[in-house]
Every structure is written in structure tokens, then in C-alpha cells.
Amino acid sequence: MKLQMSWILAAGFNLLLASPAWSYKCPDGSKDGISSVGLSTASTFSDENREAALPATIFMDRTGDLYPSASVPVDRNQFVSVGHDKFKAGRLKEYFRQIAARDKTILATLSRDAGMKDVAVSEFSDAFWEDYQAARRMQIGAEVQQLASGAATQQPRPVVVLVHGYRNSYCDAQTWYRPLTERLRAIDPDVRVIELYWDGLAGGRFVTLWTRAQWNMPLVGVGLRRVINDIPAQIPLRFVGHSSGLPMLGSAFGDASQAFLKGCPSPREKRRPGDARSPEYGDTGLPDGCKPASAAFLQREGCYYYRVRGVACPRTAQFDKDTYRFSERHDLRLAGIAPAASPDTFYRYAPESRFPLSRIALATNPRDSATAKYGYGSLACKAFGSSCLSVMPELAFKTLSNAYGASNTTIAVWNFDKSDGTQTPRVFPYWTTRHSVEGWSQNSLFEPFLRFVLTDEIPAEGSDAVQIKLGG
């Protein structure tokens, strides 16, 4: 009871301090901030942000659609309040649909932006938008290929994609993207880094934002999968997600729908070779016996439950085609720092329903302030959306090991609370540690964690701080 009251007081303290992030200068000199239409709104990205961004930077809205280049301006106030409709707000497609209703030249502008040839359209349509997004994905793929080329060995350079969590603006993410990039290059000078920015929501209302942001994560994740499919397969990709960036990536790399369902049959303790991996799916795309955690999400975004399995949604099959498939890749690795995710995120990661990940690395700590909800271990991590994957190392390792069974995926779960060197800095209350990447990077385990992600090194087995499952 005392612990629960402490968490309530700490969360209340956080809410009192929370305030809207007004415009200010980012590390790269561009202006950042949140639209003034409300405290909790889309964490949009300004024209200045996109203009100042590094090559191959990826900007995505809350549905997983790609932003245009900086040459196409986006009115952020109008963008986050399209038609004063919460469903349409913060969606690039709806924003440009509204713009096109009064300015027909925007269609030609978008077409030129994506390098679309021989496009002669007079009205905005879903078909035009899908063609535009497909062209933008091809542009991103070409930019990544250019970024990865030129290694001395003639092999593509490894590319690391950094992914922030919710409640991060462009400036917020830069505060750890840039320092982490330097650490990665110190380990492997050949590595190239891409910064990914997605609308996980931002603003002052900490608790309510988390609940809303959870319904952005899956949409952005499956949208990112389409981008990955247009990146040449021979390029080694490493994705490093912080906090809710990890569950977002869960929908990009496998069937993470279990985390958004309820009432499902109890999962088996362990999968064995020959087990039936995929249950029957009903007309709604949901596994039999399961219900959506949000009826509104199913009504409006039900296609997610098809797409996350790599299957075209019946009502949008003409657009989906095979862009949500799981394609073969040369070397794909996934890493999560303080992953604010439910263990169910990886439950349906059967071999036929996910990307072939060669390595998975999780950095966990039962004392992390945000994912432990200012509690300790498993006592509070389920409040306001489960984030137990970050604060229950044993469960995280068991979940991943069961999901990947006898596959060739090597799994390593670090418990930063067990480090024998520098501990992640403490915050108030005294039993919790900082949630930021900056805080975690001061732990002595952070360097071997990064080396596992970038190199072929394997941590020593038997350590209290690391649990290992070797692939093969």
C-alpha cells in the first residue's frame, strides 16, 4: 500500500511539472515545439526540422505514413486539427486531402516531390496517396542504399536506425540520437546511422498520453515495415528503440497484435518443433477467441490485424498488395533500451509470421522510473499500459526464448540493475533510476550491450547481468 501511494504521489508530481513544449532551438539549429492547439497533441515535425535533418532521415505521422521532403510545407496547426476531427487530426493523408480541396496544385507538388512520372490527376484520392507513399518509400530505400555504399570491403556498411519513444519531439530525440551516434561510431567507424522520428504524441498530460500513444505504435510499426521492404536486402540493418520505440518496432518485425488483444486463450508455456504456430483467424483478422482491447481501434484501424501478419486487408487489398510481407534480409538486428512493452508483444512471433531477426538485445532494469511506474519490479508495471518487458528480465528472456524456439536468432537480455560497475543514476524516489538513454548510457553494461548489437561478439554466459540464448 505504501509503495502504491508512493507511485501515485510521484506520478502526480510529474503531472504538476509537465508543461507544453514551446518552440526552442534544437541541437541542429532548427526550431522545435508542439502546436499551440492543445497540451496533448501530435508531436509533429516542422519544415525546419525536415530541412535540417541528416540524409536518409525518416519522418512518419501517427498512421505510419511518410512525411514529404522539406520542399513541401506542412502547416502544423492545421495538420493537428484537420476538420476538428480527432480521427483525421495528425494524419498526413487527411491533411493533404483538405489542402487539395482548395489548391489543386498540391497534387503536382507532391508528385514532383516523390519523383512520380507522368502523373496527371485532378482530384485527391486514396489511390493517389498510396502511389505517392510508395514513391516516397522507394526514395528512402535509395537514400539508405547510398548511405550504406562505399565500404572498403565492397560490402554494404551496417546501418543503425535509432527510434525514440512517445512524448519525444524532434529536439528531445536529438539529445540522445547525436551522442549515441558518436558511441556507435567509436565501436565501428564504418557504421552509418539513420534517425527515425514518429508521432508518438507529446505534451503535458503524461498518463493520458501514454494510453493514446499505444494506439499509434502498431500503425507506425506496420508502416515502417513497408519502408524496410524497399531497402535492399543485403544491407545489414540494426534497429535500436528506446522506451515505446520498442513496441512500435514489434509491429514492424512480427505479429505484435497479441499486445492489443484481450480474452485470448491462455498461451502455451513453450513452443516445440511441429507445434501449430498460427491459430485460425476470423473475418475481423483477429485470432479466434480474442477480442480487441479497444473496440474503436478495431472499427477504425481493423486492417492492422491483417497487415501485422503480412496479409493484405480485404477492404484495402488493392493498396496493400504485398507491401506488408515479411521479406528475406541479410542481417537484421533488434535492440531495445528500457523497452516500454508488454511481454505479449512477442507472443505471436512464429517463424512464418515475422522478419528473420539474427539478434535481439534488450536492456532492462527493474528500477527504471518510467517503465516501473515509480515502483519496483512487477508491482506497478501493468498500470496505464503494461511495460513489464523492461522491468522483468527473467520474463523478458523467457518470452523471447519461447517465441523464437529453435530458430537461428541469438537473444541477449541485460539486467542493468546487476551491473558490477557504474549504476544507472538514481532519481526521486530513491529506489528508481533514470529512464533516459543518457542515464542508461552511464551504466557499465551499456558498452557491451552496444557491442553485441554492432559486432559479432557474444557476452560471457553465466553472468548474473546477462542471459543468453544462442541461435541455431
What is the pLDDT at residue 69?
A: 95
What is the pLDDT at residue 24?
A: 58
What is the pLDDT at residue 431?
A: 82
At 313, give phi and psi (nearest 5°): -75, 130
- Residue type present at position 224: L
Which ranges of 122-257 would DSSP assign to H, the alpha helix? 126-148, 170-187, 206-213, 217-229, 245-253
At residue 172's C-alpha, the angle toward residues 414 and 428, to 5°, is: 60
What H or E segment, with its residue span, contains residue 99? helix 92-102
- Contact call for residues 129 and 114 (beta carbons, < 8 A): no
What is the pLDDT at residue 219?
A: 95
Average pLDDT taken over every residue of the chain: 85
CA distance from start to end of the chain = 46
- Residue type present at position 144: V
| Beta strands 332-337 and 237-242, pairing class | parallel
CA distance 91 to 174: 23
Label residues 305-316 b or e (16+ Cβ within 10 Å = b): bbbbbbbbbeee
- Contact call for residues 116 and 131 (beta carbons, < 8 A): yes
At 113, give phi and psi (nearest 5°): -60, -40
Per-residue pLDDT of the chain (472 residues; tens, 9 = 90+): 333 443 343 344 343 333 333 455 788 878 775 544 443 355 678 899 999 999 899 999 999 999 999 999 999 888 888 766 778 888 999 999 999 999 989 999 999 999 998 667 789 999 999 999 999 999 999 999 999 997 666 789 999 999 999 888 888 899 999 999 999 999 999 999 999 999 877 665 555 666 777 888 999 999 999 999 999 999 999 999 999 999 999 999 999 999 999 888 765 444 444 444 455 788 888 988 899 988 989 988 999 999 999 999 999 999 999 999 998 898 999 999 999 999 889 988 876 678 889 999 999 999 999 999 888 767 788 876 789 999 999 999 999 998 888 788 999 999 999 988 888 888 878 888 999 999 999 999 999 999 999 999 998 766 778 999 998 6
pTM: 0.90
* Predicted confidence (pLDDT) per residue in 412-455, tens digit: 999 999 988 888 888 878 888 999 999 999 999 999 999 999 99
| Nine-digit cell string for 57 | 532521415
At 117, give phi and psi (nearest 5°): -100, 145
- Contact call for residues 124 and 100 (beta carbons, < 8 A): yes
DSSP codes, 423-436:
PPPEETTTTEE--S
Closest-CA residue to 442 (of 432, 431, 434, 451): 434
What are the C-alpha distances in Å from 267 to residues 61, 270, 318, 360? 33, 9, 34, 22
DSSP codes, 330-368:
S-EEEEEES----GGGGTT--GGGB---SEEEEEE-TTB
